[in-house]
Structure 1
Amino acid sequence: MATYPITEPHFGGPVADPVTVAAIGAVALTEGIRFLYDQAADLLRRMRDRSDVRHESVEIDGAGALDSALGTVRIDYGRAEAQADAIRDLRRELADQAEGFVQADPSDERLVEAVDALRRLLETVYGRRITFRGEPREQSGAVVDVHVAAAAVDGYVAAVRAKRVGNADVKANLTVGDIGSGGEAVGLHVDDLN
């Protein structure tokens, strides 16, 4: 089996254990493979057809295959181009399962490793965690982890202030020494949780 080194840092922290993929059933694995296969094809087409765009925002649903929609993702074409050969190879490796010619078997280590490798590459390009329906892993979506420290606050400070937060894990940690009269310190300030 070929190996596919990921040259960019993996999105969302430590690299996932392929065992989480093996823990789901054959039907959920097949749907996950179809999702990854289709996303890889779409990404490769976008790379071929794009002009000098470095980033592009697209909406990705994932209904049926993922635990929740990815929402709007920002494709990083620099990362995609660096991994294009591996994305192509892994897509080819999953073709029979994605197209229904061969049943996806969660106990097939080679298959599970290929699925996990393609998923990690797409996570890196999309900047979003991708979790299959029924998989024991953190939820699909973005991760925002902010730590802010201030010695003193006389006005307003927020660790995270956003108009809208969709499908994301938001962790806001604010540490303040002194809050002056009329001062306000907020860990997370969101106008619309969607």
Structure 2
Amino acid sequence: MDPVILLGVPFVTSAFDFLFRRAETLIDRRASKGADKDENVADTSILEGTLQPLKVDERALERYGDELMRLYGGLSTYSRERSRITTEDEALRERLGELRVILEHIYGQRITFKGENRPLSGSRVDQDVETAEGPMVGIDAKRIHGSADVVQRVGRVTETGSVTGIKAEDLW
């Protein structure tokens, strides 16, 4: 697992709050059987890159829901006892890393904190198919603001197939 790199006490607390609040929102959403509203994140100053409004992949939320609950429960002690949130706590870093991976799957975006050596926060698409018999497009949008990451694995492309990573009118 990719542990969250935590630099300094104010930063570790902010990273914890960011990930913990996202988990809390998703758990509430799952309990109420979803909502059609995108989640806007108020403070992204601790992130490297730009998050788009957070759209929930309901299938991913269902798939990772039990693991999300387990991690949230394990982290709730830190939420109540904030003095336990330290950069030296390896178990905390590992749990936050696991939580981040799940959140990235559910939101379809990478979440990178300032100071980490990993791709910038932003849209992420991961496609894996044996055969592309028609058009396969990772991202098809009018405008993409910030970063986007598309990974496509295709075993074979037929004569009628095509593979495009990003199709957009405006990238900035």
CA-CA distance at 1:165 after TM superposition:
0.6
* SS of alignment partner, residue 11 of structure 2: helix
User: Which residue does the alignment assign to 1:89?
Assistant: 70
Does 2:151 align with 1:191? no
Q: Where does the alignment leave 5 or more consecutive residues of structure 1 unmatched?
A: 1-15, 147-158, 172-186
1:109 pairs, out of 65, 71, 90, with: 90
- Could you tell me how far 1:91 is from its partner in structure 2? 1.5
Offset at 1:97?
3.3
Deviation at 1:127, TM superposition (A): 0.8
d(CA) in 2 for partners of 1:72, 1:140: 12
Call closer, same or farther: CA 1:127–1:161 in 2, change over 3 Å: closer
2:26 pairs with 1:43: yes
User: Unmatched 5+ residue regions in structure 2?
Assistant: 128-137, 151-164
Q: Is the 8 A contact 1:165 1:193 kept in 2?
A: yes
Select which of 5, 27, 30 maps to 2:10: 27
Amino acid at match of 2:44: A
Cα distance in 2 for partners of 1:72, 1:162 equals 14
Letter in 1 for 2:120: Q
Change (3 A) 1:70 1:142: same
C-alpha contact 1:28 1:134 (8 A) present in aligned 2: no
CA displacement at 1:103 relative to structure 2: 4.0
Asked whether the equivalents of residues 47 and 112 of structure 2 are also in contact (C-alpha less than 8 Å), the reply is yes
Change (3 A) 1:58 1:101: closer
Q: 1:123 matched to which residue of 2? A: 104
- Aligned partner of 1:60 among 41, 62, 78: 41
Q: Runs of 4 or more off by more than 6 Å in structure 1?
A: none
Secondary structure of 1:120's counterpart equals helix
Q: Using the TM superposition, give the Cα deviation of residue 37 of structure 1 relative to its aligned residue in structure 2, in angstroms.
A: 0.8
- Compute the displacement of 1:67 (Å): 2.1
Deviates more, 1:125-134 or 1:99-108: 99-108
How far off its partner does 1:190 sit?
Answer: 4.0
Tell me the matched-pair count.
150
Give how far 1:169 is off.
2.7
Which residue identity is paired with 2:10? V
Displacement of 1:83 in angstroms is 1.8
Equivalent pair of 1:128/1:141 in contact (CA under 8 Å): yes
Task: Quote the offset at 1:39 in angstroms.
Answer: 0.5
Deviates more, 1:71-80 or 1:160-169: 160-169
- Tell which structure's C-alpha radius of gyration is larger: 1
CA-atom RMSD, angstroms? 3.2
| Cα distance between partner residues in 1 of 2:87 and 2:170 | 39
Percent of residue pairs bearing the same amino acid type? 30
SS of corresponding position for 1:102: helix
